[in-house]
């Protein structure tokens, strides 16, 4: 609270000096951020203040550059306007002197006087030309057009006065008066005066712009002052934050650490609720105090370690007895399995095997736990590349990939092998002699091949369909010829997808009759409309395979085309 009060006093003083405006609002928001957010760390607070200070410094830099630019523009405008005023005065004076000398020529009757006035005009002409020459480099781009017009008028004026001097010297003053005291001469002078006044008006406008720049310079200086004051306030805030948030709190924590070091472990550690680095440091000191207290507790606990050690040793012995019992149970379990079983570790060394495995491969008693898989395979029954086979198993053990495959032994037996990874590493392989099973499968395969050959070559069409979906599952070659479609066009479709509605309804009616009678071995003669071969007379016998509800439930029809015997029906 004291820190917030001090910061508030500093801020109020700064705001009173700056006045209302965007800077005041920004500063108020910043103070609420710096004083009211206790969850921020010290680093975040310092970085935030430094960030605002950097922003203000950037504004100071920008305003300084802008002020220098305005001052340079102001000085250039002032110098240009001053030079224009001086040069305008010199031109007016020179023109006036030339005009007066011209009148002197008009009024003189003596050749010497005429020569004196003529020399004065020539001198003034030269001075006038030098003034224009010196003025030209200082002319700004926006005034160049008016200056060019004035320069042409001056050149005309000088040429006119040069000719007037020549006539006065070479002919007579009267000739000079006749040449110079004309309407054309007055026109040249009036246009010269008009161009000079136009140029002076431009420079007068430049003078007013310079006055505006001077006002902007004063405003920029005021902004620079305010930004500098804000920078000072931010620097003061940074100092206060470091003092109140870091130094003072560190001092409190250091004193608490000294008390704990001297043995006062009951003393309170301040600033434990802080969410910043100081709060974490305070909690670390609190943990240190707890650690010191635990040291005393450990001394007491050390006295109980011997008792606990004895209890642990007794528990270990009991666990060892239980382990041996489990080991015997596991050995009995794997030896009672009908399949052969072997367990390997990660390097394909034997952990355990049952008696069926020894019997399957005729292994001697020398093959036991710790033997390698390669030693087992070298015993003589394995017919493949031993090293390649062992390498493949090691790869699967490393990847923990299960596998199932068959191998043929040298004695002709076929062994089915199932491999699975074990929890905690290692490999278990369950093996089964499937020689008799594979022989039965080959016999069944030959029987199926024989049956398929007979079905494909009988004269009657044989059609099988799913009893649930009524989709065709199989047609033989004779059925393909009777229907007039290929097997791929028939299988998977229903009667309604292949035949007309009348024929499809007849076929579905026969399906329902078969479902009620189980079989129809007596031939049924029907006339159907074949979409390819037209109306045909057919005789069919039908039976069911399986029972309703079974996945293998199907209808089998044996169809004979009688159209050629009874005559084609139109």
**Which runs of consecutive H residues, i.e. helices, occur in 262-362?**
277-335, 355-361
CA-to-CA separations, 285 to 253, 256, 293, 382, in angstroms, rounded: 8, 8, 12, 70
pLDDT in tens, 507-517: 888 888 888 88
Strand partners, 465: 472, 555
Phi, psi of 534 (to 5 degrees): 80, -155
CB 35 within 8 A of CB 49: no
Any domain includes 137: yes
| pLDDT recorded at residue 497 | 92
CA-to-CA separations, 179 to 118, 158, 254, 324, in angstroms, rounded: 15, 14, 107, 146
CB 554 within 8 A of CB 545: yes
Residues 102 and 190 in one domain: yes
Among the residue ranges 184-198, 368-382, 418-432, the one predicted with the least confidence is 184-198
Q: Which two tokens stand for residue 331?
A: 């050995």
Count of structural domains, the chain: 3
CATH number of residue 201's parent domain: 1.20.1420
Among the residue ranges 68-82, 148-162, 368-382, the one predicted with the least confidence is 68-82
Q: Which two tokens stand for residue 486?
A: 């290929």
Domain boundary among 165, 194, 222: 222
pLDDT in tens, 277-310: 777 777 787 787 777 777 767 777 777 877 887 7
Please determine, for residue 242, whether its predicted confidence score (pLDDT) is greater than 80: no
Query: What is the spatial distance between Cα 434 and Cα 420, in angstroms, rounded to a whole number?
Result: 19
Query: What is the spatial distance between Cα 357 and Cα 201, in angstroms, rounded to a whole number?
Result: 120
CB 276 within 8 A of CB 308: no
CA-to-CA separations, 413 to 382, 383, 447, in angstroms, rounded: 11, 11, 23
**Which runs of consecutive H residues, i.e. helices, occur in 171-276?**
173-180, 183-242, 248-261
Residues 218 and 118 in one domain: yes
Residues 464 and 422 in one domain: no
CA 15 to mean position of chain CA atoms:
44
Residues 400 and 464 in one domain: no
DSSP 25-82: HHHHHHHHHHHH-TTS-HHHHHHHHHHHHHHHHHHHHHHHHHHHHHHHHHHHHHHHHH
Please determine, for residue 380, whether its predicted confidence score (pLDDT) is greater than 70: no
pLDDT in tens, 33-81: 555 555 666 666 677 777 777 887 887 777 777 777 766 766 666 666 6
Of residues 516 and 267, more confidence is placed in 516
Q: Which two tokens stand for residue 308?
A: 């606990």
Q: Which two tokens stand for residue 78?
A: 């002032």
Any domain includes 199: yes
Query: What is the spatial distance between Cα 175 and Cα 168, in angstroms, rounded to a whole number?
Result: 6
Any domain includes 170: yes
Q: Which two tokens stand for residue 169?
A: 């010297």
Q: Using pLDDT thresholds of 50, 70 and 90, give the confidence band for residue 471.
A: very high
Of residues 265 and 465, more confidence is placed in 465
Please determine, for residue 525, whether its predicted confidence score (pLDDT) is greater than 80: yes
Task: Report the phi/psi class of residue 120: left, alpha or beta, with left for phi > 0 and alpha for psi in -120 to 50.
Answer: alpha
Query: What is the spatial distance between Cα 199 and Cα 147, in angstroms, rounded to a whole number?
Result: 7
Q: Which two tokens stand for residue 294?
A: 């635990």
CB 427 within 8 A of CB 352: no
Closest CA to 52 of 180, 179, 230: 230
Q: Which domain holds residue 167?
A: 79-222
Residues 368 and 494 in one domain: no
CB 139 within 8 A of CB 81: no
CATH number of residue 534's parent domain: 3.30.450.20
Residues 434 and 477 in one domain: no
The distance in angstroms from the start CA to the end CA of the chain is 113
Burial class (CB in 10 A: 0-12, 13-18, 19+), 414: middle
pLDDT in tens, 304-354: 877 887 788 878 777 777 767 666 666 666 777 778 888 888 888 888 888
* Arithmetic mean of pLDDT, 156-163: 78
Residues 413 and 546 in one domain: no
Q: Which two tokens stand for residue 205?
A: 């406008």
Any domain includes 232: no
Q: What percent of the chain has pLDDT over 70?
A: 80
| pLDDT recorded at residue 40 | 65
Strand partners, 534: 530
Of residues 236 and 336, more confidence is placed in 236
Residues 420 and 494 in one domain: no
Please determine, for residue 502, whether its predicted confidence score (pLDDT) is greater than 80: yes
């Amino acid at each position: 609270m004291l820190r917030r009060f001090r910061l508030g006093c500093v801020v109020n003083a700064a705001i009173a000096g700056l006045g209302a405006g965007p800077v005041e609002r920004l500063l108020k928001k910043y103070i609420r951020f710096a004083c009211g957010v206790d969850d921020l760390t010290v680093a975040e607070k310092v970085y935030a203040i430094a960030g605002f200070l950097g922003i203000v410094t950037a504004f100071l830099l920008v305003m300084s550059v802008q002020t220098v630019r305005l001052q340079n523009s102001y000085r250039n405008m002032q110098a240009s306007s001053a030079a224009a005023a001086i040069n305008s005065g010199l031109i007016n004076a020179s023109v006036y002197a030339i005009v007066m000398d011209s009148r002197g020529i008009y009024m003189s009757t003596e050749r010497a006087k005429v020569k004196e006035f003529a020399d004065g005009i020539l001198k003034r002409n030269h001075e006038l030309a030098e003034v224009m020459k010196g003025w030209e480099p200082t002319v700004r781009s926006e005034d160049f057009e008016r200056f060019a017009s004035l320069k042409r008028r001056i050149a005309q004026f000088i040429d006119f006065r040069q000719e007037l001097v020549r006539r006065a010297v070479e002919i007579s003053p009267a000739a000079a008066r006749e040449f110079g005291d004309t309407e054309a001469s007055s026109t040249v002078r009036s246009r010269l005066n008009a161009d000079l006044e136009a140029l002076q008006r431009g420079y007068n406008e430049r003078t007013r712009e310079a006055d505006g720049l001077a006002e902007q310079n004063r405003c920029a200086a005021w902004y620079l002052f305010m930004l500098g004051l804000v920078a000072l306030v931010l620097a003061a805030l940074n100092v206060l934050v470091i003092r109140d948030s870091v130094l003072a709190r560190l001092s409190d924590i250091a004193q608490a650490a000294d008390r704990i070091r001297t043995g006062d472990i009951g003393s309170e550690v301040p600033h434990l609720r802080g969410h910043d680095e100081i709060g974490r440091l305070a909690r670390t000191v609190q943990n240190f105090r707890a650690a010191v207290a635990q040291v005393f507790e450990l001394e007491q606990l050390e006295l109980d370690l011997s008792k606990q050690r004895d209890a642990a040793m007794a528990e270990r012995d009991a666990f060892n007895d239980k382990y041996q019992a489990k080991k015997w149970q596991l050995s009995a379990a794997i030896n009672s399995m009908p399949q052969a079983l072997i367990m390997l570790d990660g390097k394909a060394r034997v952990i355990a095997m049952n008696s069926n495995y020894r019997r399957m491969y005729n292994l001697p008693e020398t093959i036991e736990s710790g033997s390698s898989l390669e030693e087992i395979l070298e015993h003589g029954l394995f017919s493949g590349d031993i090293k390649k086979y062992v390498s493949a198993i090691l790869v699967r053990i490393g990847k923990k990939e299960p596998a199932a495959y068959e191998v043929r032994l040298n004695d002709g037996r076929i062994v089915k092998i199932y491999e699975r990874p074990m929890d905690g590493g290692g490999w278990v392989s369950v093996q089964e002699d499937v020689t008799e099973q594979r022989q039965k499968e080959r016999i069944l395969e030959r029987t199926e091949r024989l049956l398929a050959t007979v079905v494909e070559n009988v004269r009657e069409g044989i059609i099988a369909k799913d009893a649930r979906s009524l989709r065709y599952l199989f047609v033989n070659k004779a059925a393909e010829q009777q229907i007039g479609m290929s097997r791929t066009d028939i299988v998977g479709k229903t009667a309604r997808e292949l035949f007309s509605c009348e024929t499809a309804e007849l076929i579905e009616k026969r399906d329902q009759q078969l479902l009620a009678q189980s079989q129809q071995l007596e031939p049924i003669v029907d006339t159907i409309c074949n979409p390819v071969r037209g109306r045909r007379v057919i005789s069919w016998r039908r039976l069911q395979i399986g029972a309703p509800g079974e996945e293998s439930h199907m209808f089998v029809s044996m169809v004979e085309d009688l159209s050629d015997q009874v005559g084609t029906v139109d």
